[in-house]
Chains A and B, each alone.
Chain A
Amino acid sequence: MCGIAGIIYRQPEIYKNLGNDLLRLIQPLETRGPDSCGVGVYGSATQQLKILLFAAQDVSWEEVKHWWEKQTKVIEFDAIANGRRIILDTTDKPLNLAQIKPHLAISFPQLHLMSTGQLLEIYKEVGTAENLFQKYQLNNYTGSHGIGHTRMATESIVDTFHSHPFTSAPDLCIVHNGQISNYYKLRFSLEKKGIVFETDNDSEAIAHYIRYQLLQGFSLEQSLQNLLNDIDGTYTFLVATADKIGLVRDKFAAKPAVIYETPEMVAIASEYRCFLNLPHYNPNAKISEPDAGEIKTWSTTNKPTPHLELV
């Protein structure tokens, strides 16, 4: 078991609730997965590139800053717990993230690139949701949408980097409940296409698969449809992009999902009781379950204009 949750707002006036709503939504799911908790949130858009770095061990942040300054112009370099949120100016000199990642890993092996994009920020930790939200002060986080996960590790180790969400491209992340039974086959076929895996968690393959589909020019909806045919196993997962959240339930409906819809917002969670925990719970909300093999997507009202390539 694992717990997944997601929120997407239909009215910009309530974007300020995102942190608190997501915490309240994910907290009851700790009983489904007490190992770790993580969120991927889409906050204030920067026209530049936002990068979140986390250090597994001590690192000289001065040296890290200096390293980035050699790549491009650094606008911000903010401390957040044992990490840094960096805003880079890439207007004059576009960064090739795929190229830059191996260099960063060689120079600073203790660093982990958590997320990249104009909007996306990923925070994940071993332990409870409450700890995670306090550590990174996410309770007052403002944003249009976000997804969350509580993990019960089944097939790979319990640490921050094997926790969800998994990302594979700027502004793209997934949270997954289930197992991928053709994982090795899928991984080999993606690796043949040049994709580099960072963990041995099967859920990471979903993120890479979706990125590869999008790179082929498929829409998010079509990519998810292809995925339903190519990935075997049990999965209910949420995928978030700069302006959308998608939900996929496998053809056997083996893993749960419940959808809560009001004129203000859509929330998705593994269990119904999560919605009762929402601070502005609406008893008249439409509550439904996706069918076996069903795909659903929701869009934010404000469409950002991503200029980043889906490298």
Chain B
Amino acid sequence: MHQTIPQQTLIDCTNLTTREINQKLKALASESIPTVKLLNPAGRHNLAVGITQNIAISIEGPVGYYCGGLSENINIEVFGDCGWSVGENFMSGNITIHGNASANAAASAQGGKICVLGHAGARAGISLKGATIIVTGNVGYGSAFMMQQGCMIVCGNAGANLADSIYDGVIFVGGEINSLGADAKLEPMNNADWQLLEQELSILNISAKNYNFKKVICAKQLYHFKAKDWANY
């Protein structure tokens, strides 16, 4: 059951199925309830998935896989760590994680902004399709693999094979890059890049100037098959 106390709607997840929680969130969003607080998420999977109407959801504790996936127009704050694929195929809005994210953060996310105020695991921003992902800590192995559009900002270090088989989009890394994947290359930073970083990070009270940001983009060498490269295959 959800109870309304002044300016705050609470849902205790303990005795509800995930489907019931998501149905409640959808119902509250359609009633134009502005904010909801989820209590006792206990690492449960699929929370706040497929919500398409404007609502702010604050989750008090760690969540499992796919939190906020497929959602539109929503504003999620997670006060805890999260499991695989937070914000998978996210369409628009914001997800902020006050903790660490496991593998595949923002996988295939098409729009909106996903912000991890800790570290993210392997394959962060895999197949990113237009969203912005900001990680204030490190990202793991194979991040931005097959990225197609959008922007990834990492203040810390990036693991091996960053941006492997990238198609497009841009990645900024403030720390060390273990290694670049196939068809990724470093590009000199320009003023517009620093402006973008300053704009995105100042909201988080981070000054981009404190980091030695490097820019990674697609080298576009794998775009076309060239007969002279036949021997390489």
Contacts and interface: CB of A to CB of B under 8 A. Distances in A.
A249 to B, nearest CB: 9
B175 to A, nearest CB: 15
Contacts of A287: 81
A276 B80 CA distance: 14
A256 B64 contact: no
A291 interface: yes
A289 B121 contact: yes
Given A256-B102, A276-B43, A292 B140 contact: yes
A65 interface: no
A273 interface: yes
Contacts of A252: 122, 141-142
Interface string B77-114: 00001011000000000000000001100000000000
B43 A272 contact: yes
The secondary structure that dominates the B interface is loop
Interface in B36-70: 42-44, 62, 64
B182 interface: no
Contacts of A253: 103, 121-123, 140-142
A272 B103 contact: no
A276 B63 CA distance: 12
Contact of B160 (A256, A276, A289, A292): A292
Nearest to A272: B43
B159 interface: yes
A256 B83 CA distance: 9
Nearest to B122: A253
Given A253-B121, A256-B102, A256-B103, A292 B43 contact: no
A23 B31 CA distance: 43
Contacts of B102: 256, 258, 289
- Interface size classification for chain B: 10 to 19
The secondary structure that dominates the A interface is loop
A86 B85 CA distance: 47
B43 A273 contact: yes
A76 B122 CA distance: 50
B145 to A, nearest CB: 10
Contacts of A276: 42-43
A273 B64 contact: yes
A6 B142 CA distance: 27
Nearest to A274: B43
Given A253-B121, A253-B122, A292-B160, A272 B140 contact: no
Nearest to B84: A256
Interface string A77-118: 000000000000000000000000000000000000000000
A232 interface: no
Contact of A273 (B42, B123, B141): B42
Contacts of A292: 122, 140-142, 159-160
B81 A272 contact: yes
A271 interface: yes
A287 B141 CA distance: 19
A306 to B, nearest CB: 36
Given A292-B122, A292-B159, A272 B62 contact: yes
A141 B141 CA distance: 39
Considering residues B43, B83, B121, which has the most beta carbons from chain A within 10 angstroms of its beta carbon? B43
Nearest to B42: A276
B16 to A, nearest CB: 15
Contact of B140 (A258, A273, A291): A291
Contacts of A293: 141
Interface string B112-156: 000000000111000000000000000011100000000000000
Interface in B155-188: 159-160
A291 B81 CA distance: 17
Given A253-B123, A287-B81, A292-B122, A273 B44 contact: yes
B60 to A, nearest CB: 13
Contacts of B122: 252-253, 291-292
A271 B102 CA distance: 10
Contacts of B160: 292
A253 B123 CA distance: 9
14 contacts: A253-B103, A253-B121, A253-B123, A253-B140, A253-B141, A256-B103, A271-B43, A271-B64, A272-B81, A272-B83, A273-B43, A273-B44, A289-B121, A292-B122
Given A253-B142, A273-B64, 10 more contacts: A271-B64, A271-B83, A272-B43, A272-B81, A276-B43, A289-B121, A291-B140, A292-B141, A292-B159, A293-B141
5 closest A-B pairs by CB: A273-B43, A292-B141, A253-B122, A272-B43, A276-B42
